[in-house]
Chains A and B, each alone.
Chain A
Amino acid sequence: MSNVFRLDSRAIVRMASGAALYGVFSWVTNILLLPSASLISLRPAIVIPIFFGLQWGPVVGFFAGLVGNLIGDTLTGMGFFPMWDLGNGIVGGVAGIAPLLGRSRRALDLVVAASVAALVALGLWMQRFTTAIDAPFAGPGFVPAEQVGWPFAVAAVLFVLRLAFRGRSPAAEAAVWGVFAVLVGMGTAALLDVPYNGMKVSVALFGEFLPASVANTFNTLVLLPPLIRAYERALIRRGR
């Protein structure tokens, strides 16, 4: 376990490689923008910090996501959005928990079960607060969008994905880790935008979290398994 936190020359090169690669691939794909409350792009490159995290731990994954996002946004000229840099770092960092837990099926089950339970508890707790809001297009008694049960929806997505990928190849199961990392990272970035940019929780959730997490979940499920399988085959060929 201590190895993944040691910053030796290999870890430093992997951190730098992940960040540069994520930056370059983001630069290439940042032009594919999604309809959203802010500038969220369809970014297949998100699999790179997840891959680096899964292979070499949270420090490498976090650095690849954070610095890679900074590099990608700088190359594209999209500006600086620190909460999203942090969110991308968290995606890589959370994916890096997998090697810490030995990437076992049981660990993934436990993580998903704990997350689902936490999300359901959060959803039930939020139901206690039903207030009317005074906003355009919404009359009195309108239930704010952030209270219509988004934690239940996220919990359901995680649960269904875990069931759908259970018993498949380790590469496919790794994709569930990737989706979990995406939900945590994008959720954190969107929710931090509430105090940071003064957004409503509903705008952050439906305008940022939803498009970012759906697009990145899709990218992760499609691209991560073949990437991991190809890497494992290459390792076998090289005798490592």
Chain B
Amino acid sequence: MQVFQYRERTGAYAALDERARVLLTACGVLATLVTWNPAPLAVLAVVAVAIVPLARVSWVEIRRFVFFAGFVITLLVFFTWLTHGGTPDERRAHALAQSLRMVSLVAFTAVLPFTIEPPRWGATFRGLGVSDRLSFAVELAVRFVPTFAERFERTVRAQSARGMDLSARSGPIRRLRKLVPILVPVLLDVIVAGEDVADAMDLRAFGARPRTWSGTRRFGGRERVVLGLGLSLVALAIAA
């Protein structure tokens, strides 16, 4: 199973320290949240969407993402437009601002899983000041995903070999109950394996002193420029 949609990329965005990318996203999201003015929101949406090709993320990679996000945005804007009070002009203005806000929020955050290598999430959070333990928990969660997905597939195959038929037509409660023979063994398997991982961490004196993180990058001039761009977006949104 492919973990997230990450693959190694080239270009200016990929060369940036992950912390700068996360901070740019955080600034973009913050700027979007502080304003309902369509003019700065349009700027933010353009910047957010422009980051996607700059990050060398292709249309093929994000088409599913775009489909789902587009579906949600269209539905939410439609329902809000339908129920929002005020004159038709006010309703149109609100719908426009809401669409730009949601496009901006989704586009700013969308590139991160495509461009940050899964094992780098822990070091990135640690570099941003999050505690060693929480950063390691995030990294461990990301590392567990392919293992658990494999366990899940193996359990489904094993239960199918014993005659379980998930596709058989039946009522909703019966169909949900059919998940129990899959959920229970996977969960117990995960908990037991987790005990071994925790024992291994204890044996290596995890938490006894500050942890070291491999492959830490430098927050240099380029990263400061990117941070400056993010802060100017926030200032633009506040000033508008």
Contact = CB atoms under 8 A, between A and B. Distances in A.
A207 B72 CA distance: 12
B101 interface: yes
B148 A38 contact: no
A199 B71 contact: no
Nearest to B3: A75
Given A9-B207, A28-B152, A226-B184, A199 B145 contact: no
Interface in A32-81: 37-39, 44, 47-48, 51, 63, 67-68, 71, 74-81
Given A20-B145, A39-B72, A79-B69, A12 B79 contact: no
B141 A16 contact: yes
Given A13-B197, A20-B144, A198-B36, A51 B82 contact: no
Interface stretch (B12-20, B185-193, B219-227, B231-239): B185-193
Interface in A143-187: none
A198 B106 contact: no
Nearest to B205: A9
A200 B33 CA distance: 17
A188 B83 CA distance: 21
B183 A12 contact: no
Given A79-B65, A196-B33, A198-B94, A21 B110 contact: no
A202 to B, nearest CB: 6
B140 A79 contact: no
Interface of B, helix, strand, loop or mixed by DSSP: helix
Nearest to A15: B137
A16 to B, nearest CB: 4
Nearest to A23: B145
A79 B68 contact: yes
Contacts of B59: none
A98 interface: no
Interface residues of B, number: 69
A116 B149 CA distance: 40
A10 B183 contact: no
A197 B101 contact: yes
Interface string A3-30: 0000111101111110111011101100
Given A222-B176, A223-B183, A80 B105 contact: yes
A213 interface: no
A186 B72 CA distance: 17
Contact of A227 (B98, B187, B207): B187
A115 B101 CA distance: 34
B68 A77 contact: yes
Interface size range of chain A in the complex: 35 or more
A110 interface: no
Given A75-B145, A79-B65, A223-B176, A203 B80 contact: yes
A7 B102 CA distance: 35
B183 A25 contact: yes
B119 interface: no
A239 interface: no
Nearest to B202: A9
A43 B94 CA distance: 32
Contacts of B206: 9, 12
Contacts of A231: 184, 187-188, 191
A38 B72 contact: yes
A79 to B, nearest CB: 4
Contacts of B55: none
A80 B194 contact: no
29 contacts: A9-B207, A10-B198, A12-B136, A14-B194, A16-B137, A16-B140, A17-B141, A20-B141, A20-B190, A21-B187, A39-B68, A47-B183, A68-B141, A71-B142, A71-B145, A79-B65, A79-B68, A79-B72, A80-B110, A197-B76, A197-B98, A200-B80, A203-B76, A222-B173, A222-B176, A226-B177, A226-B180, A231-B188, A231-B191
Interface of A: 7-10, 12-17, 19-21, 23-25, 27-28, 37-39, 44, 47-48, 51, 63, 67-68, 71, 74-82, 133-137, 196-200, 202-203, 207, 218-219, 222-223, 226-227, 230-231, 234
Interface of B: 4-5, 29, 33, 36, 62, 64-65, 68-69, 71-72, 75-76, 79-80, 82-86, 94, 97-98, 101-102, 105-106, 109-110, 113, 131, 133-134, 136-138, 140-145, 147-149, 152, 172-173, 176-177, 179-180, 183-184, 186-188, 190-191, 193-195, 197-198, 201-202, 206-207
